[in-house]
């Protein structure tokens, strides 16, 4: 089943879906394993696996540090692919790769998408690859039936949103605010107006990320978005309280 | 057919969606300005009255005699206001910022030259200004930090990654994605997403336009070769562009050879075998990276050349064989700097001295009736701390020690 259809079916049983994120190899693959186990056991619906890159331009301090330390620990792209294969075989939820374009570009775009498909990955989030630069990527994603997740921003015009949606599949990642990952988001009237613009531009499920960290945030998003994305919050939690804190945190979100 | 913003297969605009509209506006204001002759006149007038344009082309007769070959000419970008060619770019972008109605500028800086130039432009035009500078470079270039702060800029030391120029660029982008409504990112070199490479090259083209006229006026014919140092590549593109149609003029870009190309501790993208195609910091070029695509640490005595990537325009010209690339080691740079100071009474910046190294290696191969031009992108006397340190000068160290004791005693 295609990712978008699978998410729609899941959504029909839950008020809002949860997508979580982690940086592969940070603090270690062993901890990643434990964190994913707790996420899935507590009902997470989709997991975004970030392959670390040395120049994570769209990320904030917490995720920058995670990228840097993972690379310093010796994490290789091949390790990330092997780990993804293990997770996708073990758990019956969709896994996505999030990374910056240089990682697939350097690997060889066709080889990377082919390999990702083989290991059971369902789609990609590549924040520095707009569709204008991603013609081959979009073509290969169709060929391998992988979802090239497109990103909406509060600065996107309606026309731009429709263009992006035309290239997207799986769902649309709506960046909740300007700035980088990891700081607070204000859910005010302009946020609501933004989300309704997003809704009008596409039939694909809408995921909202950037600054989502609490039960209150999830409640605000319920009814407005199909997926809530928890990124930096769990990385911070693992850092402060260890991987065992992730389960109760996720369980308390909905 | 090339896509806009591409030079051969290099360049592009690999930007996050949140900046899409910001870049659309920037492309529009740049395209409008470029097709408006009044804009370039305004720019020339500003550079003539506020900076020192046209900068002279100096015949280095002592150095020419010393090497016994080509007549050596030096294009004196060091005589710009703030001491480097960086002024050309920042004043141009400053005029665009006024047209866009923005009130704040941000910039990355390596050596601090672009930071000082940008802070100067912000002071003159009344913009708020924040400069991102790798923590390592803040330590290397303390005097420039002092001047940026005196000029009213906030200097933010960048502690992520390798704490050098590339990390300062990442941080500037992170600021921009939050504040694009009020803020323009004044990229300092001919790198980054379209339209930056093309736009910065346009502002810097003033160097070559002058040099082309000047060499014909003083030497009576075109030069045989032109040398320019290449970090991102802005001074090189600045002087090369006007000579691109003159195929008999050989163009040579000189990169940072650091401790030697075989040590891996260098920043030579095109002169070494160590770089490969990649996409980072918003554009596609040859990057110093590992087999996974992670950027490597680079090294140079000159902070302004200490960078992982290189202009897509230069990578294209290199691929087409129009620009030849060489590298100069830290050690060769110090020797060439010493010679230039002693023979000509001219003090090039460490960055610029890289171009002198290669010119000195080749001057003797040419005849006395041939000319070469070295683009002296900046002056070295303002980098006294860095240069005195690089010379390991004993009396300077003694002075610093005493100054330290004097401050400690207060």
Residue B145 falls within a domain, yes or no? yes
Q: Are residues B250 and B304 in the same domain?
A: yes
Q: Are residues B218 and B184 in the same domain?
A: no
Alpha-carbon distance B185 to B97, whole Å?
Answer: 9
Contact B14 A129 (CB under 8 A): yes
Q: Which pLDDT score, from 0 to 100, does residue A179 have? A: 83
Which is more confidently placed, B162 or B358? B358
The structural domain count of chain B equals: 2
Dihedral sign computed on CA atoms, order A41, A44, A50, A51 = positive
CATH label of the domain that carries residue A139: 3.20.20.70
Chain A 136-175, CB below 8 Å of chain B: which residues? 151-157, 160, 164, 175
Residue A253 falls within a domain, yes or no? no
From the candidates A59, A85, A92, A186, which is the catalytic residue? A59
Cα dihedral B246→B269→B294→B185 (10° resolution): -50
Give me the phi and psi of B377, to 5 degrees please. -70, -25
Dihedral sign computed on CA atoms, order A22, A24, A26, A30 = positive
Residue B404 falls within a domain, yes or no? no
Contacts of A156 in chain B (CB under 8 A): 17, 20-21
| Prior bond of A86 cis (ω within 30°) | no
Q: What is the pLDDT of residues B218-272, one digit of tens each?
A: 999 999 999 999 999 999 999 999 999 999 999 999 999 999 999 999 999 999 9
Q: Are residues B212 and B128 in the same domain?
A: no
ipTM for the whole complex: 0.95
Contact A130 B166 (CB under 8 A): no
CB atoms within 10 A of CB A135: 11
Q: Count CB pairs under 8 A between chains A and B.
A: 108
Q: Are residues B166 and B281 in the same domain?
A: no
CB atoms within 10 A of CB B37: 8
Alpha-carbon distance B239 to B210, whole Å?
Answer: 9
Catalytic site includes residue B149:
no
Q: Domain limits at A235?
A: 3-246
DSSP letter at B231 equals S
Q: Are residues B71 and B92 in the same domain?
A: no
Contact B13 A130 (CB under 8 A): yes
Query: Minimal Cα distance from A56: which residue of B?
Result: B170
Cα atoms found within 13 Å of the Cα of residue B278, Cβ hemisphere only = 28
Q: What is the pLDDT of residues B56-90, one digit of tens each?
A: 999 999 999 999 999 999 999 999 999 999 999 99
Q: Which pLDDT score, from 0 to 100, does residue B70 have? A: 98
Q: Are residues B384 and B348 in the same domain?
A: yes
- The DSSP H or E segment spanning B314 is helix B312-319
Residue A254 falls within a domain, yes or no? no
Query: Minimal Cα distance from A134: which residue of B?
Result: B14
Give me the phi and psi of B57, to 5 degrees please. -110, 110
| Position B275 pLDDT exceeds 90 | yes
- Confidence band (pLDDT; 50, 70, 90) for B4? confident
Query: Minimal Cα distance from B277: which residue of A?
Result: A106
Q: Which pLDDT score, from 0 to 100, does residue B386 have? A: 83
Residue B250, strand partner residues: B225
Q: Which pLDDT score, from 0 to 100, does residue B142 have? A: 87
Q: Which pLDDT score, from 0 to 100, does residue B383 have? A: 77
CB atoms within 10 A of CB B155: 20
Calculate what percentage of chain A has a pLDDT beyond 90.
91
The structural domain count of chain A equals: 1
Give me chain B's average pLDDT, please.
96
Query: Minimal Cα distance from A157: which residue of B?
Result: B21
Contact A57 B19 (CB under 8 A): no
Residue A101 falls within a domain, yes or no? yes
Q: Are residues B149 and B128 in the same domain?
A: yes
Contacts of B170 in chain A (CB under 8 A): 55-57
| Position A184 pLDDT exceeds 90 | no
Catalytic site includes residue A59:
yes
Q: Which pLDDT score, from 0 to 100, does residue A223 have? A: 94
- Confidence band (pLDDT; 50, 70, 90) for A49? very high
Q: Are residues B185 and B296 in the same domain?
A: no
* Helical segments of B184-296, H only: 196-219, 234-240
Q: How much is the average pLDDT of B310-317?
A: 98
| Position B382 pLDDT exceeds 80 | no
Minimal C-alpha gap between B316 and chain A (Å): 18
Contact B293 A55 (CB under 8 A): no
| Position A236 pLDDT exceeds 90 | yes
Contact A178 B16 (CB under 8 A): no
Q: Are residues B294 and B219 in the same domain?
A: yes
Contact A53 B293 (CB under 8 A): yes
Q: Are residues B71 and B26 in the same domain?
A: no
> Residue B359 region, left (φ>0) first, then alpha (ψ -120 to 50), else beta?
alpha
From the candidates A48, A111, A133, A145, which is the catalytic residue? A48
Residue A161 falls within a domain, yes or no? yes
Q: Domain limits at B273?
A: 53-83+205-389
Minimal C-alpha gap between A137 and chain B (Å): 13
Kindly give, in sequence order, each residue whose CB lies less than 8 Å from that of residue B59, ignoring residues fewer than 6 positions away.
B71, B72, B73, B218
Query: Minimal Cα distance from A154: which residue of B?
Result: B18
Q: How much is the average pLDDT of A59-80?
A: 96
| Position B330 pLDDT exceeds 80 | yes
Residue B7 falls within a domain, yes or no? no
Alpha-carbon distance B304 to B168, whole Å?
Answer: 12
Q: Which pLDDT score, from 0 to 100, does residue A182 have? A: 75
Minimal C-alpha gap between B284 and chain A (Å): 9
Residue A252 falls within a domain, yes or no? no
Calculate what percentage of chain B has a pLDDT beyond 70.
100
A77 touching chain B per CB within 8 A: yes
Cα atoms found within 13 Å of the Cα of residue B397, Cβ hemisphere only = 6
What's the longest Cα–Cα distance across chain A?
45
Q: Are residues B271 and B367 in the same domain?
A: yes
Q: What is the pLDDT of residues A103-148, one digit of tens each?
A: 999 999 999 999 999 999 999 999 999 999 999 999 999 999 999 9
Contacts of B177 in chain A (CB under 8 A): 58, 178-180
Contact A102 B166 (CB under 8 A): no
| Position B1 pLDDT exceeds 60 | no
Contacts of B289 in chain A (CB under 8 A): 102, 106
- Evaluate whether B144 touches B115 at the Cβ level (below 8 Å): yes
CATH label of the domain that carries residue B190: 3.40.50.1100
Strand, helix or coil for residue B154: strand
From the candidates B108, B171, B351, B362, which is the catalytic residue? B108
Q: Which pLDDT score, from 0 to 100, does residue A180 have? A: 81
DSSP letter at B80 equals S
Residue B162 falls within a domain, yes or no? yes
Cα atoms found within 13 Å of the Cα of residue B398, Cβ hemisphere only = 3
Query: Minimal Cα distance from A76: which residue of B?
Result: B292
- Crossing angle for the helix pair B37-50 and B86-100, to the nearest 10 degrees: 130
Q: Are residues B96 and B243 in the same domain?
A: no
Alpha-carbon distance A108 to B207, whole Å?
Answer: 40
**pTM > 0.90: yes or no:** yes
Contact A155 B21 (CB under 8 A): yes
| Position A70 pLDDT exceeds 80 | yes
- Evaluate whether A26 touches A69 at the Cβ level (below 8 Å): yes
Contacts of A105 in chain B (CB under 8 A): 277-279, 293
From the candidates B210, B362, B377, B382, which is the catalytic residue? B377
Give me the phi and psi of B266, to 5 degrees please. -155, 180
Q: Which pLDDT score, from 0 to 100, does residue A67 have? A: 97
Alpha-carbon distance B172 to B19, whole Å?
Answer: 13
Q: Which pLDDT score, from 0 to 100, does residue B211 have? A: 98
Alpha-carbon distance B202 to B92, whole Å?
Answer: 9
Minimal C-alpha gap between B77 and chain A (Å): 32
Q: Which pLDDT score, from 0 to 100, does residue B137 have? A: 86
CA angle (B82, B116, B189) in 5-degree steps: 95
Cα atoms found within 13 Å of the Cα of residue B331, Cβ hemisphere only = 3
Residue B376 falls within a domain, yes or no? yes
Nearest to A34 by CA among A196, A251, A192, A242: A242
Q: Which pLDDT score, from 0 to 100, does residue B91 have? A: 98
Cα dihedral B175→A49→A169→A3 (10° resolution): -150
Minimal C-alpha gap between A45 and chain B (Å): 25
Cα dihedral B270→B276→B277→B280 (10° resolution): -90
Nearest CB to B278 within list A61, A105, A130: A105
């Amino acid at each position: 089943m295609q990712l978008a259809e699978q998410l729609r079916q899941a959504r029909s049983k839950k008020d809002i879906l949860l997508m979580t994120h982690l940086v592969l190899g940070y603090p270690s693959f062993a901890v990643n394993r434990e964190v994913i186990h707790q996420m899935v056991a507590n009902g997470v619906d989709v997991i975004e696996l970030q392959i670390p890159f040395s120049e994570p331009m769209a990320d904030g301090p917490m995720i920058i540090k995670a990228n840097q330390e993972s690379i310093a620990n010796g994490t290789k792209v091949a390790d990330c692919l092997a780990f993804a294969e293990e997770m996708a075989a073990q758990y019956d939820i969709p896994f996505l790769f999030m990374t910056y374009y240089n990682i697939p570009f350097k690997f060889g775009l066709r080889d990377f998408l082919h390999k990702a498909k083989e290991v059971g990955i369902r789609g990609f989030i590549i924040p520095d690859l707009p569709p204008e630069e991603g013609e081959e990527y979009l073509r290969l994603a169709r060929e391998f039936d992988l979802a090239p997740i497109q990103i909406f921003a509060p600065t996107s015009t309606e026309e731009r949103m429709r263009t992006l949606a035309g290239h997207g599949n799986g769902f649309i990642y709506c960046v909740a605010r300007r700035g980088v990952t990891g700081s607070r988001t204000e859910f005010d009237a302009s946020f609501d107006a933004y989300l309704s613009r997003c809704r009008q531009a596409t039939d694909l499920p809408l995921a909202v990320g950037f600054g989502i960290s609490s039960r209150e945030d999830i409640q605000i998003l319920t009814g407005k978005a199909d997926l809530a994305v928890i990124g930096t919050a769990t990385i911070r939690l693992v850092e402060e309280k260890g991987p065992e804190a992730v389960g109760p945190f996720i369980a308390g979100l909905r | 057919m090339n896509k806009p913003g591409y030079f051969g297969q290099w360049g592009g605009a690999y930007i996050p969606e949140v900046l899409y509209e910001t870049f659309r506006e920037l492309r529009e204001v740049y395209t409008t300005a470029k097709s408006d002759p009044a804009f370039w006149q305004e720019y020339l007038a500003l550079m003539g009255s506020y900076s020192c344009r046209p900068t002279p082309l100096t015949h280095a007769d002592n150095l020419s005699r010393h090497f016994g070959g080509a007549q050596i000419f030096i294009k004196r970008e060091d005589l710009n206001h703030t001491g480097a060619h960086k002024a050309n770019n920042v004043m141009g972008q400053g005029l665009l910022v006024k047209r866009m109605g923005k009130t704040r500028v941000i910039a990355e800086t390596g050596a601090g030259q672009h930071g000082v130039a940008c802070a100067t432009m912000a002071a003159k035009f009344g913009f708020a200004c924040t400069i991102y500078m790798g923590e390592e470079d803040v330590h290397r270039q303390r005097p420039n930090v002092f001047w940026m702060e005196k000029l009213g800029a906030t200097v933010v030391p960048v502690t992520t990654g390798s704490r050098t120029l590339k990390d300062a660029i990442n941080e500037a982008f992170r600021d921009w994605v939050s504040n694009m409504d009020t803020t323009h990112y004044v990229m300092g070199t001919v790198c980054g997403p379209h339209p930056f490479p093309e736009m910065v090259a346009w502002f810097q083209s003033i160097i070559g336009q002058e040099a082309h006229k000047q060499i014909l006026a003083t030497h009576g014919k075109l030069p045989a070769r032109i040398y320019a140092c290449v970090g991102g590549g802005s001074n090189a593109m600045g002087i090369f562009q006007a000579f691109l149609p003159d195929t008999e003029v050989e163009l040579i870009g000189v990169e940072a050879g650091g401790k030697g190309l075989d040590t891996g501790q260098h920043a030579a993208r095109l002169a070494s075998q160590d770089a490969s195609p990649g996409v980072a910091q918003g554009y596609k070029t040859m990057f110093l990276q590992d087999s996974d695509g992670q950027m490597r640490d680079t090294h140079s005595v000159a902070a302004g050349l200490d960078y992982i990537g290189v202009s897509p325009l230069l990578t294209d010209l290199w691929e087409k064989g129009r620009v030849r690339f060489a590298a100069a080691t830290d050690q060769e740079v110090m020797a060439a700097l010493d010679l230039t100071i002693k023979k000509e009474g001219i003090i090039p910046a460490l960055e610029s001295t890289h171009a002198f190294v290669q010119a000195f290696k080749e001057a003797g191969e040419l005849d006395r009736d041939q000319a070469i031009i070295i683009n002296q992108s900046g002056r070295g006397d303002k980098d006294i701390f860095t240069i005195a340190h690089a010379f390991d000068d004993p009396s300077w160290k003694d002075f610093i020690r005493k100054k330290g004791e004097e401050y400690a005693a207060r």
